[in-house]
Structure formats: C-alpha cells, structure tokens
Amino acid sequence: MKYLIILTSLFLFACNTTKTIVKQKEDTNAIKGYKKYNPQTGQYEWVSEDPAKVIDTIKTNTTPIDNTKNTKEATVKGLNRAIKVAVILPFYADQNHDGEPIFAKSTWATNFYGGMKIALDSLVKKGISIDIRVFDDKASEAELNKILLYEDVKNADLIIGPAGKSNLKIAANFAKTKGIPLVSPYNPADDITTNNPNYIQINPSLKSHCVAIVEDIYAHYKTPNITIISRNKPTETATYNYFINHINSIYSNIIPIHKLTIDEETNGISKTDLDVCFSENRQNVIIIPSWSNEPFVAALLQRIEANRKGTPINVYGMPQWSSFDLLSHDLLTKLNTRITTSNPFDIASPQTKEFKKLFFEKYHTIATDESIVGFDVTYLMIQMLKNMVKNLRPIWEKRI
C-alpha cells in the first residue's frame, strides 16, 4: 500500500506541534494471503486464507447501513442513556461487488470506519451505551438531503461526516440549526461554515500547514535565507501571503525572503535561476507549496540538488509528498526534507502498536492513518458526550 512506503529519512511534523515524527518504511510488496498476530511468538505470521472472504460489506441503499445498538446499561457518570451517533460517509456501496477489488473512492471511508468500529468496541467494554447509525451519502447532495430527513439524524447527539465539501456545507448548516456537534473528519477547507460552535474540523487548513512550516523553521534557524518556490498556479501562489506574513511577524522583518514562480508549461524549471536559494553565510531554507504535480516536485528537487554546490539546505514540502513515488530516499535525505502532517500521533507508541494489532486481527489488513484518526475521533468525542460536555470544539482543539 502506498501510504506505508514512506522514506525513513523523511521527517514529518504535525500542524499543531513542532514534534518530529519519523514514519518507518514497511515492505508490503511480497504480501501473499494476510498476516495474523501470534500471541505466543509476539509476531505477525503469514496465513494463506484470502482476506477478501472476511472483509465487511456495506449495503447499497440510502437507509442506515449499520444499526448497531448496544443495550448494556451505562455505568459511568454522565449522560444516562445511549449516545446517538450518525455517521455520514461516502462508502459508494453500490460500486462494490463480491469478488472484485474495493472501489478506489470507497477506501478512505472504509478505513476510517474500520477505526471507528474498534473505538466503539473499546467504549462498549467501558460500559458506554452507543446507538450508531451509518449512512452512505455516495458524495451526492441528493443522497445527503434524503439522509438528513431521518429522525435518527435529526435526533443525533453527534454527526461524523460528510467528507466532500459541498455535502459538508449542507450538513454543517443542518447541524448548526439543530444544535448538534458535527465532526468534519476529512475536508481541510476553512470556508465550510461561519459562527458555528458545533463544527469541529479534524484536518488543518492549507493556511495551518503554512504556519506550521514557518514556526518549525523559526524553531530551528534564527537567521535563515528563505526562498518560496511554486508553480504559476493560483492555488499555490496564494500561499505566498500566508508564508510571508507569518515569517515577517515572527522574524520581525529582519531576514531575506525570496519568491520564485515557475511556469511549468514552458519548461520553467530548467530556465529558472536558483542562485538566490543558496547563501554561503546563512542556513538555506526552501519552501515548496506544491502538492498536486508529482513530476514537477521531483524535477524541482533534482534541480535544487544539482545547483546547491554543497551549501547547507533544508527543503519544506506538503503532506501529499509522503505518497509520491518519484521522490527518492537518497534525494530527500540530501536535501534534509521535512513535510507537515495532519496526523500527530506517535506511530511508535504502545497505544498505536496495540491499535494496529487489533485492526489487523479484526480486518486482516494493515491499519492506515485514516483508520487511526477514525479511532481517535470516535473515542474522544463519545467520551466527552458521555460526560455531558456541551461544547466539544474547545476541548478537541486543546487536545490536539
């Protein structure tokens, strides 16, 4: 799986912390069958059974696809009834068929929901009663509007989802009107809703990533030579102000900042003069706010390495780089590359390792980042609701 093949030399830091996280490389190319945890040896061992036979399936209609209700009495203090949760995600159930690979657009939602299910199991063991209703909006506004008519959604204590921007706007306004906390588990846009104390956004916005990069630079270098390089695309050049305003704010306008805009349509990388990037007297920092064109990023990094002539350098990139196949281990190491991540969990912690073990044993596949986020979001939000926290957003923001 792509998300696991992340170079050990590539440092990632969370948007809400300066802690450095190193993701370990994990080889999945030789997988045959699936791994099962052996408690006697403490190791994962290959099993020949086809994991497709044990993967959960999803119903294809608009009605709730999971009506799991735990009737166990609550034994902890707080809300003295089952917590009602409505999950609205793009499972695209009607695009998945027995004996065929999972539909690509279904992957994120199914992994996220897999993590949710493990969180629900853990909460049930703690005596928390949960009534969860799961809906497939198929990323369709028409489907979502049907879903929002259900009493199970209107009377929910918590809504998780949707993912797509247009559906999220509709659901966020619905939740605002009804006074229901809504968690946006995927979309990073910062213009979904306004004056909505019930709206909780998990993924940081682009501006948050830019601010995190600048603060990490400041934490490491007091007098750097900073260059921002982007394609001549409005979505990328728009980041200039985010970077420059924050750099000037924390550095008090005392360091040089250079901007280079490259026209990729005219072989701009080879024609661009990079001399301003390389100072012999300062630590050189190059920020590349480009996330959608992998060949451009790879070619630019190769050109930077070819022209640096031994000068000290750090390159800062975007979260999507972690899945770029064209970025070599050796090149990223030489350029001291650092990227932001939306997921600040510690993959080496005992808790994360235990979660991955449980996930593998339950689903016979490797846990993804989104499955870990699914667990974290579900576990924390339901615990807060159980303790009758009326406004979840400030506590969530403090926690992350």
- Residue ranges of domains in the chain: 83-202+349-399, 206-341
Could you tell me which residue, 371 or 384, shows the higher pLDDT? 371
Mean pLDDT calculated for residue range 327-339: 93
Which among 150, 288, 165, 176 has a CA at the least distance from the CA of 226? 288
Peptide bond into 90 cis (omega under 30): no
Q: What is the mean pLDDT of the chain?
A: 80
Buried b or exposed e, range 58-67, using 16+ CB within 10 angstroms: beeebebbbe
> Identity (one letter) of the amino acid at 77?
K
**CA dist., res. 163 & res. 136, Å (int):** 11
pLDDT for the residue 65: 53
The CATH homologous superfamily of the domain defined by 83-202+349-399: Response regulator (3.40.50.2300)
Give residue-wise pLDDT tens across range 221-244. 999 999 999 999 999 999 999 999
* Residue in the structure block whose two tokens are 């929901």: 113
pLDDT in the model for residue 203: 86
- Determine the distance from the C-alpha atom of residue 221 to the mean position of all C-alpha atoms in its chain, rounded to a whole number: 28
CA quadruple 104, 107, 110, 113: dihedral, nearest 10: -150
Q: Is there a contact between 157 and 87 (Cβ–Cβ < 8 Å)?
A: no
Residue % of the chain over a pLDDT of 90: 57
Structure confidence at residue 165 (pLDDT): 93
C-alpha span between 279 and 311 (Å, rounded)? 7
Candidates 327, 334, 315; CA nearest to 274 is 315
Q: Which residues touch 305 (CB under 8 Å, ≥6 apart)?
A: 331, 334, 335
C-alpha 156: how far from chain center: 25
Q: Is the per-residue pLDDT at 172 higher than 70?
A: yes
Which CATH architecture best describes the domain 206-341? Answer: 3-Layer(aba) Sandwich (3.40)
Give the pLDDT confidence of 117-161 residue by residue, as tens digits.
999 999 999 999 999 999 999 999 999 999 999 999 999 999 999
Note the pTM of the prediction, 2 decimals: 0.69
Answer yes or no: are the C-beta atoms of 226 and 255 closer than 8 Å: yes
Least confident of 68-82, 176-190, 217-231, 340-354: 68-82
With contact defined as beta carbons under 8 Å apart, do 13 and 25 qualify? Answer: no
Same CATH topology for 83-202+349-399 and 206-341: the answer is yes
